[in-house]
Amino acid sequence: MKIKHKLTLLFLLFFSFFFCTAITCTIITNMQNILILLFFQTALQTAKFLIKSVQAAKSNDELPGTTKILKPLGNPSFDPYSGDGKPIAPEDLAAVLCGSDMKSEAITSKYLKDLFAYRSLVKCEQMASHYEGSYVAATKAGQKDPTGIARNENARTMQTAALSHVRYFVVEKYFEEVESVPADSAERRVLHRLGVIYALSDVVGLQGNGPSWGGLLDSKEVNAFEYAVDRLMKMLRPDVIALVESFDISDTILNSALGSSDGKVYEKLFNAAENSAMNVDDEGERVEVPECLLAVDQYISRDFLRTGRLSQDDIGKVGGAKISTQFSKGKL
């Protein structure tokens, strides 16, 4: 239960932080504006903290928590833009990322945590340098609010650094929790693959809104990540339903015909369509089949939708024999 709760919290953090815009599409405009404002305020506060952390790192001060990855910035000769601090990719990278043995899993989790830490370090240093440059320029120009000007001029860079560090935090803590699962359990293998897919989907751009990896990876690494994502998705496919069910969301909360605890998805979908409030005519009288569907009604098997079996009447319909033959061969 402890592991389950911690992993759930990490997923909730991920969904709430990175998909607030998608969530707000389902609610009223005022709440949407509030959530968007909250998102940017959270990113701003995170960026401000990271700027102070970079400054502390360059002064060789003590760093808390995940900001310890910024410690190398205290060395004047350290240059993250030239590759300093970047983890060395293991040989046969794609095979290691897809490996199911304990050694491959250990190498993969460490490599991905270090890789996300490296991106966070680069983005944080870049943000702090740009911010400081804007602040100094505004101060020399006699501007009344150099801090506000620096934030406005570097808003995108600050958001990018905040997102980079939060995603590093998610990857780091997720793999830490997975590593606490018994080594010989099937659950650990599945959760490890899920974490690798999440990390690689950020790298290859499947998430769509992630901070750029431009200039941080070479073509060989990108090709290995692309190949590994495709293989891992195929390997994880048999466990996808179990992963979704592990959230244990009740039918009451889900409130959707697309999913139910008894597994009767198509029956629920059919019943929802049949009982829809849209099934009325111009006078408000209820109709069994909406007019727009009458054209295809002759091809619909209601018994099949309810029971999963074709009746003799259905087989006798136009094209029914062909449908029956294809269904019996597993083509439908």
pLDDT tens profile 228-257: 999 999 999 999 888 887 877 777 777 776
pLDDT tens profile 213-222: 888 988 899 9
At residue 241, what is the residue type?
A: I
Average pLDDT estimate for 4-22: 47
Check whether domain 2-245 has CATH 3.40.50.300, yes or no: no
Start-to-end Cα distance in the chain: 40
The pLDDT score that the predictor gives to residue 128 is 94
Q: How far is CA 24 from CA 5, 21, 37, 107, in A?
A: 25, 5, 12, 38
Q: What band does 273 get if pLDDT is binned at 50, 70 and 90?
A: confident
Q: Check pLDDT > 50 for residue 14.
A: no
Sole residue written with tokens 């804007």 = 134
| Alpha helices in 204-297, H assignment, sequence order | 219-236, 240-245, 251-254, 265-274, 294-297
pLDDT tens profile 134-159: 999 999 999 999 999 999 999 999 99
Residue 22 DSSP SS3: helix
Question: 281 versus 106: which is more confidently predicted?
Answer: 106
Q: Residue 88 carries which DSSP code?
A: P
The pLDDT score that the predictor gives to residue 283 is 78
pLDDT tens profile 277-314: 777 777 777 877 666 666 766 776 666 766 666 666 65
Q: Check pLDDT > 80 for residue 174.
A: yes
User: Among residues 213, 169, 173, which one has the least CA distance to residue 191?
Assistant: 173
Q: Check pLDDT > 50 for residue 101.
A: yes
Residue 130 DSSP SS3: helix
- What DSSP assignment string belongs to 141-209? TT-S-HHHHHHHHTHHHHHHHHHHHHHHHHHHHHHHHHTTS-TT-HHHHHHHHHHHHHHHHHHTTTTSS
Contact 74, 161 (CB under 8 A): no
Ranking 81-85, 237-241, 265-269, 291-295 by mean pLDDT, the lowest is: 291-295
Beta-carbon contacts of 61 under 8 Å, excluding residues fewer than 6 positions away, are none
Q: Residue 212 carries which DSSP code?
A: P
Ranking 44-48, 120-124, 187-191, 268-272 by mean pLDDT, the lowest is: 268-272
The pLDDT score that the predictor gives to residue 249 is 77
Contact 180, 3 (CB under 8 A): yes
Rounded to whole angstroms, how far apart are CA atoms 270 and 301?
Answer: 11
Sole residue written with tokens 């940017």 = 40
Q: Check pLDDT > 60 for residue 322.
A: no
Q: Where are the domains of the chain?
A: 2-245, 251-328
Q: Check pLDDT > 70 for residue 22.
A: no
Angle at 179 between CA 167 and CA 5, to 5 degrees: 70
Q: What's phi and psi for 280, nearest 5 deg?
A: -135, 155
Rounded to whole angstroms, how far apart are CA atoms 221 and 227?
Answer: 10
Hey, which bits of 166-258 come out as E strands? none
Angle at 312 between CA 307 and CA 264, to 5 degrees: 10
Within 10 angstroms of residue 235's Cβ, the number of other Cβ atoms is 16
Which residues are paired to 280 by β-bridges? 286
Question: 18 versus 175: which is more confidently predicted?
Answer: 175
Backbone φ/ψ region at 40: left (φ over 0), alpha (ψ -120 to 50), beta:
alpha
Percent of the chain with pLDDT over 70: 71
Q: What's phi and psi for 141, nearest 5 deg?
A: -80, 0
Contact 114, 151 (CB under 8 A): no
